[in-house]
Every structure is written in structure tokens, then in C-alpha cells.
Amino acid sequence: MIEPKPAVPSNESGTSQSGASDGRPAAKKRRFGGTEAQIRSALKFYKVMAYLTGIMLLLLCVELIARYAFGVSLYAGGTDALTGRPFGFGLAASEPKGVIGGVNLSVTVLIVHGWMYVVYLISDFRLWSLMRWPFTKFILLALGGVVPLMSFIVEKKFHAEVEAELAANPQASKRY
């Protein structure tokens, strides 16, 4: 019968050569999906998108409260539906329409936030794939653009984590 041998050769003291002196296994060498410059670029893009998406989400919340709690929307230009006078800029009734022919800036906030969230998800995916994190972290990153104020909290947490991982594994990002 063949005797099984350990996958990692051991020295005379019984600990593996790659392990710590107290018998713990050595930490796995961290590998990234890109160079340090690529990761820092993705981190900067993520940070900018996190702040922009967070600000747009707060504007969206204010707009939704104004629309559904007070029945007003933000308009620019057009004609006041009640008086027939030109309407410049400000809040007007949503239903029935208080302004005819103006630009509804409340709807613009909705559209801009939606597209900005798509770009935010792209920045999340780029950072997530370069860091080679588990899928659950991608979900947390994505939730940052959906829950008000969460993008600021998540960005700070993951920014610190990326910086710590890059500092702890300086050789892991060298690819070329």
C-alpha cells in the first residue's frame, strides 16, 4: 500500500515550510486582476460615480417627496396654466398640470439618476473584477446606488479596503 504524503513538505520540527512558526498556515498570496495603476484608476472612477449617484439619489428622494407629499414638480420655462403668464423657474402643481410647455426638471432628475446608476454599476463591476472579490461584495457595491446615503458609506468602506489590500500586497499587482 502507498503511504499518503503531505502536499506541502515539512521541515524537521513538523511545521510546513510555508506556514508560520506557530503552526498556522501562511496567508495565501493575493492576486489582483490588474496592475496597481489600473486598480487605482478604477477606484477613482468608482469614487466619483459613488458621490454623483449618491447626490442624484438624494435629489430623487426630495423630488419624490415634493411630488407625492405636496403635489408639486420643478419646472423651467413654459406658461402658467392658471394665469396664462410666462413661467420662469420654480415649483408648480403636478396634477393637474400647473405649467404648460415647460421642461419638467423633476422628470429630468429621474432620467439622469437612472442612467447615472447604470454607469455606477459599470464602475462597480470594474473595481470588483480587478480586485477579484466574491460576488456578495458586488451586490453591496450595487446597493450603494439604490439606498439613500448608502453610496457614501459603502464608498468609504471599500476605498479603505482597497487601499489596505494594495498596501498589504505590493507584489500581487505586478503583472508585466
Tens of pLDDT, residues 35-86: 888 999 999 999 999 999 999 999 999 999 999 999 888 888 888 877 888 8
Given this model, what pLDDT does residue 31 score?
Answer: 78
Give the sheet arrangement for strand 72-76, strand by strand.
Answer: 89-93, 72-76, 103-104
Given this model, what pLDDT does residue 97 score?
Answer: 79
Tens of pLDDT, residues 148-167: 999 999 999 999 999 999 89
CA nearest 120: which of 131, 128, 132? Answer: 128
What's the whole-model pTM score?
0.76
* Whole-angstrom distance, CA of residue 9 vs CA of residue 95: 77
Contacts of 75 (CB under 8 A, 6+ apart): 87, 89, 90, 91, 92, 98, 99, 102, 103, 104, 105
Assess contact for 103 and 79: CB atoms under 8 A.
no
